[in-house]
Structure 1
Amino acid sequence: MGLSRGGGIMMAAVAGFGAAIGALGRYGTTRVIQRWTGNHWPVATLAINWVGCFLLGGLSGWQLDQPLTVLLGTGILGGFTTFSTFSHELVMLADQRHFGAALGYLVLSVGGGLLLAASGLWCGLHFR
């Protein structure tokens, strides 16, 4: 299944199927985390994006074949993680004048995400 027209359509379907699974997982995970922690700070989005960064790093290290990478990486993890919600929550914290919380969320999200992606990559490369 290369990049031919039929293969491209198939890969798009695989990615879409995975994205639906990931989005359902994100919704459920968000609800559970918000029940535990409340909804005062975006803990759920931070946790989801951190998990996604680590897993995508690991997936990159495993170097799986294209259909599986599209399903798991582009699809499931792409649907599970959410840059748009992170951005919205960051803007809302700043708009509410919670500048310290906004800065902390930014640093934890970006810095933590990069560290976890690198850690995931290392694990993927060493535990294939």
Structure 2
Amino acid sequence: MWMNVALVGAGGFAGAVLRYYISKKMAERFQTDFPYGTLTINLTGSFLLGLLIGANPGAAVLLLAGTGFMGAFTTFSTLKLESLTLARKSLFGAFIGYLGATYTLGIVLAYVGYYIGRAL
């Protein structure tokens, strides 16, 4: 039990730190209202989680990398907050594009990752 908690915690720590770093770097680079950082993180996370599940690495790796790292790296709450912010600023094209890209490409990338993982 405690080993599982430690695996999830270690993965979660690493995922949260990397998400913060990437988000800040992308915000500095693009300096726009569009949330490129969160979009990149969530799409990358969709692909990587699909890859991980497809590879079927075992329970410990799934706890560390899937539940811990990917759970903290990707962010549903920030997606919703940034979507609301775009809508409140009347940036409706960006709002629709952001949600459309996140959900459509996220599903596609998860499937691609899964099938690549199965092939490994």
TM-score (norm 2): 0.95
Once the two structures are overlaid, the 10-residue window that deviates more, 113-122 or 94-103, is 94-103
Larger radius of gyration: 1
Counterpart code for 1:101: A
Q: Please say if 1:78 is aligned against 2:76.
A: no
Aligned to 2:40: 47
For 1:66, give the aligned amino acid: A
User: Where does structure 1 lack aligned partners over 5 or more consecutive residues?
Assistant: 1-6
Partner of 1:64: 57
Q: Counterparts of 1:79 and 1:29 in 2: how far apart (Å)?
A: 13
Percent identical among aligned pairs is: 38
Q: Establish whether residue 24 from structure 1 lines up as the match of residue 14 from structure 2.
A: no
Question: Which residue, 29, 38, 44 being the options, matches 2:31?
Answer: 38
Gaps of 5+ in 2: none
Aligned residue in 2 for 1:3: none
- By how many angstroms is 1:39 displaced? 3.6
Partner of 2:110: 117
Q: CA RMSD in A?
A: 1.0
Tell me the SS of whatever aligns to 2:118.
helix
TM-score by length of 1: 0.89
CA distance in 1, matches of 2:32, 2:76: 18
User: How many residues are matched?
Assistant: 120
